[in-house]
Amino acid sequence: MDINLTKLTEKCQMTKNIANFALNKKLICLMDNKKLVETVAANLGRSSNDVNKLLEAFAGVLRARCSELDSVVVPGFGTFEPRKRNERVMVQPSTGRRMLVPPKVTLGFKVSNVLKTKLR
């Protein structure tokens, strides 16, 4: 298998350019944890420290429930659900070596219909 590095580099550069364009034109809005805490604190009229504790507690509940393979439903927002990924065989492209990927549990999110209709 021949890999054309110039074509690969061009594709990577095009992808980078598209992402930068989208970010600069505000087509993609990214919010980090600090901005999220500040925004929620301003909307609730609470301190950032209180909101940070609330978000940490929510993440702790998600971790605990999803580790037991239970779903967590937030009415009007969506459902966090653990998804089992089965064991599989992967082929490493550079060497052609076959590797066994162990099973794992990932966290999925399904948006509620209420939020979907509000976003449309």
Q: Is residue 36 a contact partner of residue 58, using CB atoms and an 8 Å limit?
A: no
Q: What is the pLDDT along the chain (120 residues), one digit of tens a residue?
A: 445 545 545 555 555 555 555 555 555 567 888 888 998 999 989 999 999 999 999 999 998 998 888 999 999 999 999 999 999 999 988 999 999 999 998 999 999 998 888 888
Name the token pair of 75. Answer: 């009415």
CA-CA distance, 89 to 50, in Å (whole number)? 46
Class of domain 71-120: few secondary structures
Question: Structure pTM?
Answer: 0.62
